[in-house]
A and B are shown apart, each in its own frame.
Chain A
Amino acid sequence: MKRNGDELHESGLTRREFFEASAVLGLGAVAATQLGPFAGRAFGASKPTIKVSSWTAYMDKKLLKPSGDKIGATVKYVEDINSNEEWFAKADPKLRRNQSIDRDGVVLTDWMISRVLQLRYMQKLDAKSFPNKKNLLSALRSPSFDKGRVYSVPWQTGITGVAYNAKTVTKPITTMDDFFSKDLKGQITVLDEKRDTIGLIMLSLGQDPSTTDYAGTEKAFQKLEQLSADGIIRGVNGNEYVNDLSQGHLAACLAWSGDVAQIARENPDIKFVIPDSGGMLWADNFTIPKTSKQAKLASKWINYWYDPKNAARLTASIQYISPVNGVADQLTKMGGDAAKLVDDPLVVPTPEMKQKLHIFNSLSESDEAKFDARWAKALGQ
């Protein structure tokens, strides 16, 4: 018993001391958050900060600090977007009431940009701070949802196709019919990014997703519904497919090009193919919420990434398709592994590759609502 008592004293913290210590710590923490901004101003030393929300696998941390130094700001780059819809569900109630979402930039997929622009949730990019906009690939310059790219500009683009594990799938997949074949029953998933899944099915049915409206998607939905009812499709996956594929939970799935390039570095059995009928092309775009007070600085930051040199460094690391002109030349100049990427059509698409890729048409608000509901119905949700 005595020993116990001694031990307690040796630990040197009575209950009272513990409470006092916690109280002091708590006060300190509160003081730090409250006084932080003032302290910075008082010393005149702190740089302004911009905060950006983005997806995983879209930034090389080593490149982040130089990008901030160049524009004289600290960049807080947060990888907190996992799905366009989840982001919207969180941001919508605030932006609707003109309340700040505490971000100076967000990266969203084309169709979500279309939605938030219709709702007037974003502000214009500052054209004066963004001269490098001239480097934007001409094909991406004037999408229907943002003519002339006034509000948004692509961060990265990528391809949706089929990924499979060559260990389980002995006969290489080349078409969507191979992918949906009975041999793979219950071992494949589709993407919860609806336009990717429906777009690929439409292409396999000989339809063009780049001009479709809601009515045009019905056949693809019927096919999806049938595949789901027959148990061909095991389920729907978001970004988790990366794990499922590498751990052997799945034989094949719909997937995004850059992700698969990154998995294949460690597991060469994982292959990515664009079905013969064609693949989907999409862009995730940088845009500035209307509540941000740092639009100029955020525009300067995106300007930095539109310098082909900086864009090429990013591409070398994340292996998505850059929207910036001249990246291929810069990659060649970098030499080594980066130069090899120039010959990879998934990173620098060849003209033949470009012909196989399609962008999903943007849907009107009422069509989009029907589209989303039809999706849920097709999957029994």
Chain B
Amino acid sequence: MAERGDDGKKRARFAPYLLLSPGSLWLILFFVVPLWTLARMALSSKPSRFADPTFDWHWSNISDAFNRFGPQFYRSFEFAFFATLFALAIGYPLAYVIATRGGRFKNLLLGLVVVPFFTTYLIRTFAWKTILADDGPFVSFVRWAHLIDLVRAVPLLGHWLLPSPDRILATPAAVIGGLTYNLLPFMVLPIYVAIEKIDLSLVDAAKDLYNNGWQAFRKVIFPLSIPGVFAGSLLTFIPAAGDYVNAYYLGLNNRSTQVIGSVVQNQYLNQNDYPLAAAISFIFMVIVTIAVLIYARSFGTEDLV
């Protein structure tokens, strides 16, 4: 009997590790090993353009990446920041309405948010290129209604978003718009889940305590939905910062829309400078990780949805 008990204890001790092993193996194979290779490549150098890179603690790749591509790093995060902001501005009310007023149509409405995303990313982005064509109906209307001028009148941001008064394509506005559109469901779904969990009788309680509708939202609903906002923002911001498809097709990769992803592509495919491309990717990952940690520290909750 005693032996069997020991056996059981032993098994209990190893069980968690055993259960973790598929996941750990996955992480080691597809995260740790590639990361290690990437780091090694980032510190390698090539004696000539088409030679094999050799690992020699070539730290100047790192400083090179910073010195030469600062603006693109900055721009990537700028685009991601605005895309996250806009996705939140659109996504929060949407999620709120679906969760609280959706009634029996809840699932249908959620489905409608997701359905367009059954089409591939690339095709959706391409479709926007057609929608935003210079002489297409949309841009013609926007021009006619002076909406472009209106945006351009916004101090600081206006001329940055839309450098030209007569078009939208190939501007930061187009890239940010594309990112916002493409990542919206990643914002909506976590917020929906968070709001859906809230017991709405809390709102009644708040109203009993003389809160009006807005106060009840501000003091009860919003704080309780913060985990959703937090998760949604991360799920939007991280892919947006690394994305280069929108910058390439909607921004046409020009001076005002070039992002760090395009730089990596250029260094890798055109310049054949694998070490520099690896260094840029590595720096990018480090910045994102640090940013996320800071964000988690200041706004995060333990309850990630």
Which residues of A are in contact with B by a Cβ distance under 8 Å? 83, 85-86, 88-89, 92, 96, 115, 119, 168, 185-187, 189, 228-229, 231, 233-237, 240, 244, 247-250, 365-366, 368-369, 372-373, 375-376, 379-381
Collect the chain B residues with CB atoms within 8 Å of residue A86's CB. 269
B135–A248 touching, CB < 8 Å: yes
A189–B252 touching, CB < 8 Å: yes
Collect the chain A residues with CB atoms within 8 Å of residue B170's CB. 186, 234-235
Q: How far in angstroms is the closest Cβ of chain A from B28? A: 24
Report the separation of the CA atoms of residues A368 and B253 in the bound assembly, to the nearest whole angstrom.
Answer: 22
Q: How far in angstroms is the closest Cβ of chain B from A292? A: 21
Residues 31-63 of B at the A interface (beta carbon under 8 Å): 48-50, 52
Collect the chain A residues with CB atoms within 8 Å of residue B167's CB. 186-187
| CB nearest neighbor in B for A236 | B253
B133–A369 touching, CB < 8 Å: no
Quick check: is B212 within 8 A (CB to CB) of the other chain?
Answer: no
Collect the chain B residues with CB atoms within 8 Å of residue A375's CB. 270
Quick check: is B222 within 8 A (CB to CB) of the other chain?
Answer: no
User: Number of B residues whose C-beta is below 8 Å from A?
Assistant: 33
Q: How far in angstroms is the closest Cβ of chain B from A195? A: 13
Annotate B149-186 by CB proximity to A: 1 below 8 A, 0 otherwise.
00000000000000110110110000000000000000
A186–B263 touching, CB < 8 Å: no
Quick check: is B21 within 8 A (CB to CB) of the other chain?
Answer: no
Collect the chain A residues with CB atoms within 8 Å of residue B255's CB. 228-229, 231, 379-380
Contact A89/B254 with A119-B50, A247-B133, A249-B134 known, Cβ cut-off 8 Å: no
A85–B269 touching, CB < 8 Å: yes
Collect the chain A residues with CB atoms within 8 Å of residue B50's CB. 92, 115, 119, 365
- Could you list 29 A-B pairs, sorted by A, with CB under 8 Å? A83-B269, A85-B270, A92-B50, A96-B52, A115-B50, A187-B134, A187-B167, A228-B254, A231-B163, A233-B254, A234-B254, A235-B170, A235-B254, A236-B253, A248-B134, A248-B135, A249-B133, A365-B49, A369-B49, A369-B271, A372-B271, A373-B271, A375-B270, A376-B271, A379-B255, A380-B254, A381-B253, A381-B258, A381-B263
Contact of B252 among A235, A365, A372 (CB under 8 A): A235
User: Top 4 nearest A-B pairs by Cβ distance?
Assistant: A235-B252, A380-B255, A235-B254, A369-B49
Quick check: is B103 within 8 A (CB to CB) of the other chain?
Answer: no
Collect the chain B residues with CB atoms within 8 Å of residue A365's CB. 48-50
A89–B268 touching, CB < 8 Å: yes
Quick check: is B266 within 8 A (CB to CB) of the other chain?
Answer: yes
A380–B135 touching, CB < 8 Å: no
Collect the chain A residues with CB atoms within 8 Å of residue B223's CB. none
B266–A376 touching, CB < 8 Å: yes
Q: How far in angstroms is the closest Cβ of chain A from B165? A: 10
Report the separation of the CA atoms of residues A373 and B266 in the bound assembly, to the nearest whole angstrom.
Answer: 10
Collect the chain B residues with CB atoms within 8 Å of residue A89's CB. 268-269, 272
Report the separation of the CA atoms of residues A189 and B130 in the bound assembly, to the nearest whole angstrom.
Answer: 17
**Interface hub of A231, A249, A369 (most chain B Cβ within 10 A):** A249
| CB nearest neighbor in A for B249 | A240
Collect the chain A residues with CB atoms within 8 Å of residue B271's CB. 369, 372-373, 376
Contact of B135 among A168, A244, A373 (CB under 8 A): A168
Report the separation of the CA atoms of residues A248 and B130 in the bound assembly, to the nearest whole angstrom.
Answer: 9
Collect the chain A residues with CB atoms within 8 Å of residue B135's CB. 168, 248
Contact of B266 among A115, A168, A381 (CB under 8 A): A381
Collect the chain B residues with CB atoms within 8 Å of residue A366's CB. 49
Collect the chain A residues with CB atoms within 8 Å of residue B211's CB. none
| CB nearest neighbor in B for A229 | B255
| CB nearest neighbor in A for B170 | A234
Q: How far in angstroms is the closest Cβ of chain A from B240? A: 20
B133–A248 touching, CB < 8 Å: yes
Report the separation of the CA atoms of residues A122 and B52 in the bound assembly, to the nearest whole angstrom.
Answer: 19
Report the separation of the CA atoms of residues A236 and B253 in the bound assembly, to the nearest whole angstrom.
Answer: 7
